[in-house]
């Protein structure tokens, strides 16, 4: 099976981890500091605080910018559940805005239509590695004086108008989960230019501790370890190369698949550099699940991200959202599927993917 995700772990990562293990300092220390410094400089923010996951980066990031009970936070329902869970973890209310039909990213016009007196922030997701329309979203947030959070879990190295995803919001969050463009196993980071937010976040994920045993708030343990950070430092060195490979793979797939009448290849906005976290196509018809089953049984590890919108999940039923809130997202969720595009997909894998698809109908 050609897997949908496959981390590129080589001798560099293995050597770096062994070094940490031999040092005897396996919790948070020098390596985490090095990773924070290198990743935040690469993205282009003054602070980066590493943590245990992309989910905790979002959860404590929202807490650190002051999101609290009963605030409204606008977000997309077409994402991994962690995006809206982080709003609920802070006892705020997620308000769902619809997505664009072509990019699958949150639609700026729909964001603006959902803003009320209670809106405190907008959490956008650069889905599949394609940055959202930052020009319009930034303007809306500034016109209405609401904060902007970029969930960049899928967008390491992506750019909008020549600027990296992760530099547009009041804060941005990244995940280094095993399936992402760069990995630390589990892991995440919150980035910001705001000194106070960075400090609050650092304290919050470290038991609320300002100095040794000086607990100034109720905090948690969501720290990253030096073992994870050592992998992250090595992965960052390879990120450009891995993303170039993803981009070449996606170009090949689009060239080979764009003339299939029942399939829509990914749309790429003119002013973005796509990170190709996923290569996501749309089928025109009601046979998506059958097609995914066919691909899987023919050795192509296709997957659906995401088959159910956040607000239709059982865990969200108390919020009272009914089908029809975001009609475009509802129909897109029934049509999309992602094909393997990562750096370990070889030319012969790509040829096989195309051949299998062309035989389907």
Least separation in angstroms between CB 125 and ligand PLP: 5
φ, ψ for residue 190, nearest 5 deg: -110, 130
Shortest Cβ 205–ligand PLP spacing (Å): 13
- Alpha-helix runs per DSSP H in 205-332: 226-257, 288-297, 327-332
* Residue 236 contacts residue 38 (beta carbons within 8 Å): yes
Strand partners, 279: 339
Q: Which is nearer to ligand PLP, 169 or 257 (CB)?
A: 169
How near is the Cβ of 117 to ligand PLP at its closest, in Å?
28
Q: Cβ 128 to ligand PLP, closest distance in Å?
A: 9
CB of 305 to ligand PLP, least distance (A): 8
As measured in angstroms, the least distance from the Cβ of 178 to ligand PLP is 9
Q: For the CB of residue 281, give the shortest distance to ligand PLP in the complex, in Å.
A: 18
Are 56 and 222 within 8 A, CB to CB?
yes
Spatial contact of 78 and 312, defined as CB atoms under 8 Å apart: no
Residue placing its CB nearer to ligand PLP in the complex, 153 or 357: 153
CA atoms within 13 A on the CB side of 129: 26
Question: Strands (DSSP E) along the chain, which ranges?
Answer: 47-51, 72-75, 93-96, 119-125, 147-151, 159-160, 163-164, 171-175, 188-192, 209-211, 214-215, 263-264, 272-273, 279-283, 336-339
Q: Which CB sits closer to ligand PLP, 2 or 155?
A: 155
Between 53 and 250, name the residue whose CB sits nearer to ligand PLP.
Answer: 53
Q: Which residues are CB-neighbours of 139 under 8 A, at least 6 positions away?
A: none
Q: Report the residue number, 40 or 83, with the smaller CB distance to ligand PLP.
A: 83
In this structure, what DSSP letter does residue 178 have? T
Alpha-carbon distance of 92 to 150, in angstroms, equals: 17
Nearer to ligand PLP, 222 or 354 (CB): 222
Q: Which is nearer to ligand PLP, 82 or 158 (CB)?
A: 82
Residue nearest to ligand PLP (CB): 54
Chain residues binding ligand PLP by CB under 6 A are: 53-55, 79-80, 82-83, 125, 151, 153-154, 175, 177, 188
């Amino acid at each position: 099976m050609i897997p949908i995700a496959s981390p590129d772990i080589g001798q560099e990562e293995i050597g770096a981890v062994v070094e940490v293990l031999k040092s005897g300092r396996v919790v948070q220390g020098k390596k985490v500091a090095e990773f924070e410094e290198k990743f935040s400089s690469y993205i282009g923010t003054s602070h980066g605080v590493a943590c245990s996951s992309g989910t905790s980066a979002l959860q404590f990031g929202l807490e650190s910018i002051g999101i609290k009970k009963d605030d409204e936070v606008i977000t997309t329902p077409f994402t991994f559940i962690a995006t809206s869970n982080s709003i609920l973890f802070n006892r705020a209310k997620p308000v769902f805005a619809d997505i664009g039909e072509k990019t699958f990213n949150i639609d700026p016009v729909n964001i603006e239509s959902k803003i009320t007196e209670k809106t405190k922030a907008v959490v956008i997701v650069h889905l599949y590695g394609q940055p959202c329309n930052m020009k319009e979203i930034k303007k809306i947030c500034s016109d209405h004086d609401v904060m902007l959070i970029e969930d960049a879990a899928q967008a390491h190295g992506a750019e909008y108008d020549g600027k990296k995803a992760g530099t547009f919001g009041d804060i941005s969050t990244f995940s280094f989960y095993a399936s992402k463009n760069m990995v630390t196993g589990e892991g995440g980071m919150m980035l910001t230019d705001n000194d106070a937010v960075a400090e609050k976040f650092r304290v919050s994920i470290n038991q609320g501790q300002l100095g040794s045993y000086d607990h100034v708030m109720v905090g948690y343990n969501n720290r990253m370890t030096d073992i994870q950070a050592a992998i992250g430092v090595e992965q960052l060195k390879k990120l450009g190369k891995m993303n170039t490979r993803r981009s070449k793979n996606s170009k090949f797939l689009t060239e080979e698949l764009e003339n299939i009448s029942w399939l829509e290849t990914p749309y790429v906005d003119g002013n973005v550099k796509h990170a190709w976290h996923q290569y996501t196509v749309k089928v025109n018809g009601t046979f998506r699940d059958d097609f995914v089953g066919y691909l899987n049984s023919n050795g192509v590890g296709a997957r659906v991200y995401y088959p159910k919108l956040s607000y239709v999940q059982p865990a969200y039923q108390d919020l009272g959202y009914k089908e029809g809130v975001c009609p475009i997202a509802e129909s897109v969720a029934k049509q999309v599927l992602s094909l393997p595009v990562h750096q370990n997909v070889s030319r012969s894998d790509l040829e096989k993917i195309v051949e299998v698809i062309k035989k389907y109908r």
